[in-house]
Amino acid sequence: MNVSGNVALVTGGASGLGEATCRRLASLGAKVAVVDNNITPAEQVANEIGGEAIQCDVTDQASVAAAFSSAEKALGHAPRIVVSCAGIGHAARIVGREGKLSIDLFEQVLRVNLFGSYNVMSYGAQGMMTQEPDASGERGIVINTSSVAWQDGQLGQSAYAASKGAIASLCLPAAREFSQSAIRVMAIAPGLFRTPMMEGLPEDVTTKIAANVPFPARLGEAEEFALMIEQIIANPYLNGTTIRLDGAVRLPPR
């Protein structure tokens, strides 16, 4: 699929991997909806790239539906490119100190990471089905964000790993379902990336984390994630799978 001239909707677009994706797609000629629950930084990104900022709570179906409607009205047609980067990474043991349970946190993480991605994919695919196929025969593509924690979740990451594992598992059946509508579904499982979440850690901790990456021995850059988004969109034979983008890292137990 050609990025140029198409509408792209990116959740979590105000910062980190989502922001880099918005900037990359805009530089390639896409009309970008910068979707985020935090509207002020979303507006800043949108103003800088000539896109449209839209506030959205991905856990709320009505909010997601409104976001897609707003994107279509503002940018001319339903998005053919939908990227879900909105997510949270709260950590907790299943049974913590003094027997404290983390069931509420588990539900919150799955609601944002998994249900949020599912909501966005659902409305995105629904809109793509109304589009005529492009020159390559495609109607659109959905790219969800998993994590290497899907396969090597660390202690305290049960909720996060479960949510990201579900996103990876969702990829193939969704791609099979939407194949009849010429819509592809992919997922990226990023490793250790330089994002606002990671930048909040002390420098010595960041250095120790980066030392676990075989090559390149550093944190990934958000622009490299955005490059992977571009490459997936461009390659029509990528469908129904999850790509690890991680410098060959495998996370230790803790």
The CATH class for the domain spanning 7-245 reads alpha beta
> CB-side exposure of 185: number of CA atoms within 13 Å?
26
Ordered per-residue pLDDT tens for the chain, 254 residues: 999 999 999 999 999 999 999 999 999 999 999 999 999 999 999 999 999 999 999 999 999 999 999 999 999 999 999 999 999 999 999 999 999 999 999 999 999 999 999 999 999 999 999 999 999 899 999 999 999 999 998 899 999 999 999 999 999 999 999 999 999 999 999 999 988 777 766 677 677 778 889 999 999 999 999 999 999 999 999 999 999 999 999 988 88
Task: State residue 149's pLDDT score.
Answer: 92
Spot the catalytic one: 118, 123, 160, 237: 160
Q: How far apart are the C-alpha atoms of 56 and 123, rounded to whole Å?
A: 13
Q: How far apart are the C-alpha atoms of 67 and 198, rounded to whole Å?
A: 28
Do the beta carbons of residue 200 and residue 252 sit within 8 Å? no
- Indicate the residue type of 194: R
Q: How far apart are the C-alpha atoms of 172 and 212, rounded to whole Å?
A: 30
- Record the pTM: 0.95
Q: Give 149-215 as a 3 state SS string.
A: HHHHCCCCCHHHHHHHHHHHHHHHHHHHHHHHHCEEEEEEEECCECCHHHHCCCHHHHHHHHCCCCC
Q: How far apart are the C-alpha atoms of 232 and 186, rounded to whole Å?
A: 8
Task: State residue 163's pLDDT score.
Answer: 98
Q: Does residue 160 carry a catalytic annotation?
A: yes
Q: Where are the domains of the chain?
A: 7-245
CA distances (Å), origin 58, targets 28, 138, 209: 26, 26, 30
Task: State residue 133's pLDDT score.
Answer: 95
Do the beta carbons of residue 121 and residue 55 sit within 8 Å? no
Task: State residue 202's pLDDT score.
Answer: 67
Q: What is the DSSP letter of 95?
A: B
- Copy the structure tokens of residue 28: 């390639």
Q: Which residues pair with 145 in a beta bridge?
A: 188
Task: State residue 201's pLDDT score.
Answer: 63
